[in-house]
Amino acid sequence: MKQKGIDNFSGKRVWVIGASSGIGEACTQALLRAGAKLALSSRRVDRLNTLAASAALNQALVVPIDVTNPAQLEAGYEQILQAWGGIDLLLFVSGVYVPLRADNFDIKVVQETIDANLLGPMRAVALVLPEMLKAHTGHIAIVGSVAGYSGLPKALAYGPSKAAIINFCETLYYDLLPQGLSVHMISPGFVATEATAQNDFEMPALISAKEAATEILAGIQKGEFDIHFPKRFSGFLKFLRILPYPVYFWIVRRFVKI
């Protein structure tokens, strides 16, 4: 049994959470060109308004939210329901990244990261699931990271938050496939964004946000569950997961020059 894709985004109702920059902004621009109806969410209202100004009449709703604020999320979804009656695709792209190693381990950073990167998408999914289950149709797409595959340097908070997203998406897939809903687990490698600009090391197979958006939307159209890219990097990391730990750690130490 294969899950459904989206043949054509034209007219589809898409809620993009994290639309104001990076991968989310690139996905928003591509979806606008494809004729989708977009609800644009993030904390940065000025950027959302700029994006909405480039849309056609009645093509975009600006729905400012902070994903760590349940009340804002609920009010935002209610605004979308009143305008459209539901959504066809939840595309959750929002996330935070703070480089963290054992010598500067900060539990406050960990809590903020988990709140945004794990509880944030869980809150959004909890909101949209009831209507999707009633209709027996809909798509949930969550951007995680290849950093969730296994432990990597400088990711003591970010990595665990993304590993949990992988588990969450896998479990959602089991439950939702028989109900006619599709789940898309998105695991990018290094993408040139404001977040990765913090990195002080060479990022292998770095791609642009526009390239990432192309991969994401193509994967959703095909109905893919596991959308990972660029394959030359994400495929290598998938291979590392099956190696014995001594070999894995030796390879990471040798190739991750930080």
97-108 residue pLDDT tens: 999 999 999 999
Cis peptide preceding 230, ω within 30 of 0: yes
Tally of domains in the chain:
1
**Could you report the per-residue pLDDT of 111-128, keeping only the tens digit for each?**
999 999 999 999 999 999
Mean pLDDT, to the nearest integer, of 160-169? Answer: 98
Query: In whole angstroms, what is the distance from residue 246 CA to residue 255 CA?
Result: 14
The answer to the question of residue 122 being in a domain is yes
HSE of 224, CA atoms in CB hemisphere, 13 A? 16
Which residue in 133, 220, 224 sits closest to 181, CA to CA?
A: 133
- Decide: 148 and 238 in contact? Cβ < 8 Å: no
Query: In whole angstroms, what is the distance from residue 132 CA to residue 152 CA?
Result: 36
Query: In whole angstroms, what is the distance from residue 127 CA to residue 83 CA?
Result: 16
The answer to the question of residue 5 being in a domain is no
The answer to the question of residue 3 being in a domain is no
- Decide: 95 and 117 in contact? Cβ < 8 Å: yes
Mean pLDDT, to the nearest integer, of 220-227? Answer: 98
Q: What is the pLDDT of residue 252?
A: 87
Q: What is the pLDDT of residue 258?
A: 54
Query: In whole angstroms, what is the distance from residue 240 CA to residue 231 CA?
Result: 14
How open is the CA angle 46-190-52, to the nearest 5 degrees? Answer: 20
**Could you report the per-residue pLDDT of 57-92, keeping only the tens digit for each?**
999 999 999 999 999 999 999 999 999 999 999 999
Q: What is the pLDDT of residue 153?
A: 87
**Residue 215: which CATH number?**
3.40.50.720
The answer to the question of residue 149 being in a domain is yes
The answer to the question of residue 8 being in a domain is no
Statement: residue 203 has pLDDT above 90: no
The answer to the question of residue 223 being in a domain is yes
- Decide: 212 and 220 in contact? Cβ < 8 Å: no
Question: Which residue range(s) make up the domain with 62?
Answer: 13-255
Instruction: Report the mean per-residue pLDDT for the chain.
Output: 93
Share of the chain above pLDDT 90, in %: 85
Q: What is the pLDDT of residue 72?
A: 97
Q: What is the pLDDT of residue 242?
A: 94
Burial class (CB in 10 A: 0-12, 13-18, 19+), 65: buried
The answer to the question of residue 6 being in a domain is no
Cα-to-chain-centroid distance, residue 224: 14
Burial class (CB in 10 A: 0-12, 13-18, 19+), 112: middle
